[in-house]
Structure formats: C-alpha cells, structure tokens
Chain A
Amino acid sequence: MSSLIHQASPKVPLNWRWGILGVVKLEIQRSLTTARILAWLAMATFPVMIASITAWQMSEMQMSLSAEESSFTFSMMLYVLLPQVVTPLGLLLWATPVVSSELEGQTWIYAVTRANGRRAVLLGKYIVAILWSSSTAIVSAAVAVPITGMPNPLQSWIVISCLVVLSAFAYAALFVLIGTLFQRRAMITAFIYMIGVEAFMSLIPATINQLTVSYRLRSILVHAMDLKVSLANQRQQWFIDETPVWQSVGYLGLYTLILLGISLWRVQASQYSWQSEL
C-alpha cells in the first residue's frame, strides 16, 4: 500500500468535461440491469399496445377515416402517449433523483469534493435521462406509427421523434431543477407539477398556458404535421400558437437553458446535508 504514494503522479491534461463523460458512462452502465431494461421495454411497449388496440377496434367497427382524419387522430394520440406521457415518465425516474440518489447512496460528498464534481454530476445525469427517455419513446414510435396506418409514416415518425427529443430536453431540465430544489419527495413534486401545470394549466384558455411546454409542443405538432386545425376558431387559438415552428423550438430552447442554468447555480451553491455531517 505504501509504495503508491512514492510514485510520480501521471502528468495528464485535466479537463472538467471528462467528468460529464465519466458520469454518463457510469450511469449508462448502471442502467443495464434487468429491472431497468424491463422498465425500458415496458414503457416502450405501452404506446404500441394502445396504438394496436385503437387500430384494431377501428377496423372491427369498420370505421373508415380519410387521410386527414387518420393523420389528425393518430398524431394526437401518439403525441399524448409519447412526448407527453412516456418521455416525462422516464425522466421522472432518471432526472428527478439527480441529487437525492447521490445523497441516499452517500456519494454526494465524493462529488462535491472533486474539482468539478457538482456540475459534472448534474449535466451527466441530465444527458443520461434524455438518452434513456427519448430512446424509449423514439423506438416506441418507430413501431407504433406503422401499426396505426398513418399516411406518410416516415414523416410522422420523424416529427414525433423530434417532439420527443424537445420534450426530453425541456422536461429533463424542469425535473433536474426540481431535484436540486427538493432533497426529499422530488419525484412527487415533479409529478404534481406535471399534472397541475403541464396537463391542466396548458389547457386553460388564457395567456398563462403559453408558459407551458405542452402548449409549445402541441403547436409544433400541428404545424409540422400540417394538421387541419382551423385557427380562425378563437377557442382553438388558446390551445395552439400561430407562430412558426422555429419560434416554438426557440422558446423551448430558452426554457431549457434557463432552467438548466438555475439548476447549475443551485447545485453549485448548495450545501446538501449528508449522513455523518455532525
């Protein structure tokens, strides 16, 4: 044991970005357990099953939809199931416990006493949460879209996948922020926020719903899929933004950056307690 301390230290160029890569690598390795793989499969299968049952029932009832109606119905269904349910659910499991899992594992002290440990852990876990959740939904969409018989399946899959990625970036930033603010019950807080704000507030016909991620994703979906929604109808204007897609994407990017910035500041300034601190 003693021989080690006399060895010359290896001269290596140090870079804080390696920390993010290290966290990503370890978290991916940790995700390859039977339980987590099964969770990934279950979440990917769920929208496929719903799409299959819906398509089968429609054929049983001999409902014939026009291309426009089919596109609208299944786009909305997959939009709700994938960027609005499956992706946030995956993020709840991965992004929300960004700090609490470290505290429970008593490994937070190791992170905060490393040169760039705090931000590397946060950003690394943020990236893994996005990779895990968006991969689930994108694979699920790849199977579900052809089953529904939507016109232009490739374009539909690309649009849904882009929405999944945008949803993952934005909601992961939101959940990471909640995780840095609440050491305990972060997951419950995030869930309540999703129900209260993203599900209900985004449907309130008032300007306040424009602050939600759902509102922006909905608008991108309608424009990108060229769904026939009459924007002349004033009631529908409350639910869908008339602005071009790039503006909605820009809004989501800004939303993500602001929340992630606050999370980084919070985690850098935090003094989370660990077990034997006294």
Chain B
Amino acid sequence: MIDKSRLTEPNEPSDHKPSDTDLIRLTHVTRTYGRVIGVNDLDVTLPQGAYALVGPNGAGKSTLIGLITGALRPTLGSVKVFGQDPVGNASVLSRIGLCPASDILLPGVSAVQWIRQLLSLSGWPPKAAAARTFEVLEAVGLLEAIHRPINTYSLGMRQRCKLAQAIAHDPQLLILDEPFNGLDPVGRHEMTTMLVDWAKSGKSLLLASHVLHEVEQITDAFLLIYGGRLLASGTAGELRSMLADLPQDLAITCSDIDLLASRLATAPWLKSMQLDREKHRLRVSVGQPLELYQALATMSVEEGIEITELAGADGDLSSLFQLLVSRHRGSRTIRRT
C-alpha cells in the first residue's frame, strides 16, 4: 500500500529524489505568527500514501495542514503538493479535500445548501453539485437531516457533514484534522472503516490526531510532531525500533519474576525497577535497552526464565511519543539508525 522505504526522516538527507509524483514535499519549512513559531524547519518528503500526523494540541498540526492546503504561506522554505505550490493553485486545491478541526458556525444554513455551495466553489455546475451533494450526504448517513440547519446538528453529525464536504469533490488527497472529535463509538468505527477503505483505494490520506490508538488502526506511517518540529517519521515498527537505542520504560512478564529482578538488580544500565508480584510483571527503566534485551536472552537460556511478554510501559505508541517529546525537550531530533 505504502512504499515505506521512500519515507524520509526529518532533517535527514535521503536517497529519495524529489519528483512531481511526490504527494507532499516540505523543504526547511518554518511558519511563524509574530514571535510564535507555528512549525519550525520541517524537511520531509512524502510519497503518495496514508499518513498519521500525531502530536499533542498546539504541536503545529493545524499550521502544517494550513501550509499544505495553501491557506498559509511558509515564512521560510517551500511547500510543494503534487509537485506544485498549493497557495491559490486551483489545480492543486481541486485535488485536496480538507476536513478541518474547527466547528461549523453557520446559522440557518442546511447541510445540502452548504455542501452545494462548496462544490460550486470547486467549479461544479449546479445540477452536478446538487446530485453529488445528495450522494455524499447519504454516504455519511445524514440524508434524513439534510434540510435541517447545521447549527441544530449534534457534534457527531457536524463532523460527518464536514467529512461529506471534504470528499464531495472527489479529491486525491484527503486531509482530516482531529476527525474523531465528538463521534460516538459507532461513529468512530464507521469513520475508521471509511478511512481504511480510503487508504486501500489508493488515494492519499493525511490524518492529524492526538489519539494514537485511533490512527494506528488506519495507517502505520506516522509523522510525530511536537513544538512545531517533526520529531520522527516512519512506520510504527520503525519508530519502535528507535527505542532500542534510547532510554525507555519497559514491562516484562515472566515465569519467575523474583529471579529476574535479582539478576537485573546489579546491571549498571538499570535506572529503576518496580515489582508487581500479582501480575508477575517487572517494570524497568533502562538507559541502554539493547543491553537489557541481550541479558534477557541470556537469562532465558541459562536460567530457564520464560519471558512471556515484553512491551512498552503502557503497551502502545504513547510511550514512544512521550519519550520522543522528552528527548526533544532536552536534545536534538531523533533519527533512525
């Protein structure tokens, strides 16, 4: 689905040569708002595919989306989408569908009126726009409420309405900023299914979220952003592999937790250890994870300790993200080795 080998690391020279077929190319892009830095020196090339842009609120996700959609100009550097500058570029913008995070505050306007107008802004003639509006509103499950003013919709309905306008003009690149906000579990499931199908269809996707487990189900290509900087990029596996060289917290479940704890206690690279006898789990904080992995392998063979689980402290990408953020605050950008 996605050629992960072409994904370049942030601020790292890549063998991948820029081409017109690249989905997005950011060349040392910085965007400031007066003295506030929105994004800082982003340098990455993304081929066509599905990507999750992950970062906490205020990380710079929406600014990056603004730059990609041509709503903002970079203060420094250049942005290319489909090989062209997106600012005021009709041919680029007609291939982008955006579902922003901000809510719709249009009093007295129905979904059908609004989406029809937005299609007309994309150059669609009235008849075709009317027919397409009904198609997309039916697709997102809003057909029964299409004539109701949008401001009377629930938050979930407004999210679906925003999604409908984003896909209405049949874009090649769908950009969604926090699309799961306000959706109930059923709505989240439907949204996830739709986005998985979208990615499988060969169209490109950029999904901004601060909830890791939601985007993990849709794509395994991640861009981690914090403080306006791209901390890391790659697949979930690649990002996890970065942990091998970095201090991290791990949870180990094994057959003889006391023996394992006594063996590890003297290791020079161990920073702290917490024993949970009820769950047969040992939480360790280590400075050199590779040393730990080697020790575990040795102990498994020599001492007969059966390791049943080895995971990040909370078992998902959030540990990686927190680690990258903490490293970013005190050090330079993480790079895959």
Question: Is residue A16 contacting chain B, with contact meaning CB distance below 8 A?
Answer: yes
**B100 to chain A: which residues have CB within 8 Å?**
106, 109-110, 274, 276
- Which of B62, B139, B177 sits near A4, CB closer than 8 Å? B139
**B106 to chain A: which residues have CB within 8 Å?**
105, 107
Question: CB distance A13 to B122 under 8 Å?
Answer: no
**B136 to chain A: which residues have CB within 8 Å?**
4
- Which of A25, A106, A121, A278 sits near B103, CB closer than 8 Å? A106
Question: Is residue A233 contacting chain B, with contact meaning CB distance below 8 A?
Answer: no
Q: How far is the CB of A10 from chain B (nearest CB, A)?
A: 6
Question: CB distance A278 to B194 under 8 Å?
Answer: no
- Interface residue ranges of A1-38 to B (CB < 8 Å): 1-7, 9-10, 12-16, 18-19, 21-23, 25-26, 29-30, 33
Question: Is residue A69 contacting chain B, with contact meaning CB distance below 8 A?
Answer: no
Question: CB distance A109 to B139 under 8 Å?
Answer: no
User: A5 with B201: in contact, given A106-B102, A109-B100, A278-B62 (CB under 8 Å)?
Assistant: yes
User: A112 with B71: in contact, given A14-B122, A18-B123 (CB under 8 Å)?
Assistant: yes
Question: CB distance A14 to B124 under 8 Å?
Answer: yes
Q: How far is the CB of A58 from chain B (nearest CB, A)?
A: 44
**B103 to chain A: which residues have CB within 8 Å?**
106
**B63 to chain A: which residues have CB within 8 Å?**
277-278
Question: CB distance A115 to B38 under 8 Å?
Answer: no
**B1 to chain A: which residues have CB within 8 Å?**
none
**A21 to chain B: which residues have CB within 8 Å?**
120, 126
- Interface residue ranges of A237-275 to B (CB < 8 Å): 268, 271, 273-275
User: A3 with B139: in contact, given A22-B129, A112-B70 (CB under 8 Å)?
Assistant: yes
Question: CB distance A15 to B96 under 8 Å?
Answer: no
**B96 to chain A: which residues have CB within 8 Å?**
113
Docked pose: A86 CA to B69 CA in angstroms = 40
Chain B 82-120, CB-CB to A under 8 Å as 1, else 0, gives 000000101101101010111111111100011011111
**A129 to chain B: which residues have CB within 8 Å?**
none
**A225 to chain B: which residues have CB within 8 Å?**
none
**A275 to chain B: which residues have CB within 8 Å?**
102
Question: CB distance B132 to A10 under 8 Å?
Answer: yes
Question: CB distance B119 to A22 under 8 Å?
Answer: yes
User: A273 with B33: in contact, given A25-B117, A116-B90 (CB under 8 Å)?
Assistant: yes
User: A114 with B62: in contact, given A1-B190, A276-B100 (CB under 8 Å)?
Assistant: no
A-B contact pairs, 14 of them (CB 8 A): A5-B198, A14-B122, A16-B90, A21-B126, A22-B116, A26-B114, A26-B117, A106-B100, A107-B106, A113-B71, A113-B93, A115-B90, A115-B122, A278-B38
The 8 closest A-B pairs by CB, nearest first: A22-B120, A14-B123, A4-B139, A9-B170, A114-B121, A115-B90, A2-B197, A12-B128
